[in-house]
Amino acid sequence: MSDDEADPELLALLRQHLQGKLNINDEPETGVLEGAEYVYDNSIDVALDMRATKNAAALIHSQMQEKEYSTGTWSEHELHPKSKDETTVAFIFVMDLLNFSFWSLRPEEDRFAVEYRDRRWTGYWSLVASLQRALDEGIPILDPHYWQDEEECNVESLRHVFRSCTDEEIPLLESRLSCLREAGQVLYEKYSCSVTNLISSARGSAARLVNTLATDFLCFRDEHHFDGRRKPVRLLKRAQIFVADLWACFNGESWGEFYDIDKITMFADYRVPQILATLGCIGYSPPLQALVSSGSMIESGSRSELQLRACSIWCVELIRREIKREHPDAKVNAILIDFFLYDTMKQLEEQGKETMPHHRTRSIWY
């Protein structure tokens, strides 16, 4: 092609743009990774050990290969729903709407726990067990109309749904009711009380669905100000894990099909920072280490807490990049790495092999 001939590919792109079929600004971004990198670059209390991170990447990839870790692992968990229908979509929405703050300062035998299917469940699994038990009892816990019915759905009815086999009740019970109330109202006003309508509005984009959740639902808007940065740092743990759980449950198909699923980052909670610190990937300043080791409360949205969460996101991103650099064909993303790290940390806890505690923050964000 000579210099004075038009590039046919460029002409095609220009034609699509003029016809309204192409807009380079249409592709959504959550901004989570950008914010995490900013916090990491300005962090003074949390640091990454690059050699340990590189070694962890090799170890994680090896163990994930050995265990054949994939989206299918999600449905293998005993309490996760097995059907692939709209009821499961609703279950996942409620599960992640209420997926926060299960830790306790009490001894293991006295902490909030749920007995279901002849087992005792704690932490995240106590939530899933409670929802399954409620459905078994005919309680319409997945119905947005129920959440808005103040006579039927109130603190006392939720106390029954989340009843414990110990004297400790589930933390932040009233906050959970508020989340249900708000979600019911938003779904009623904007999505005809349908979670599938909410998902469809994202048009196959994981990032767009995360942004929609953060925009329309205050209880999903996990973003915070850091060091005078003009834009808030977006962590969006529960919004992202909702998308990830859909993707994993439906194995990337049907309601779990997203063309940009790899834009989802690790879900900034307290378990993944704990195992990253156990692996030596992240380290804390002496004052922060003292707070974590003593089990002292770290305020939600504080500088220390944002560093813990954001630096963990960035660390998992570096682990992902290292795995892809060494194994270009590896089918791995931040979601699978997060799931794997979380499951591994829970196994260490159950085996009594925790070498350091997780940080303590009480909030609805995780």
The residue type of 117 is R
Distances (CA, A) of 248 to 204, 224, 277: 15, 28, 26
The C-alpha atoms of residue 267 and residue 270 are separated, in whole angstroms, by 9
Residue with tokens 């996760």: 80
| Amino acid identity at 142 | L
Residues 6+ apart with CB under 8 A from 337: 60, 64, 266, 316, 319, 320, 323
Buried b (16+ CB within 10 A) or exposed e, 201-217: ebeebbbbbbbbbbebb
Distance (Å, whole) CA 320 – CA 301: 26
Catalytic site residue from 216, 245, 269, 338: 269
What's the Cα-to-Cα distance from 347 to each of 165, 233, 332, 350, rounded to whole Å? 22, 31, 21, 5
∠ CA 176-178-181, rounded to 5° = 115
Q: Residue 308 phi/psi, 5° resolution?
A: -60, -45
Task: Look up 269 and say whether it is catalytic.
Answer: yes
Catalytic residues: 269
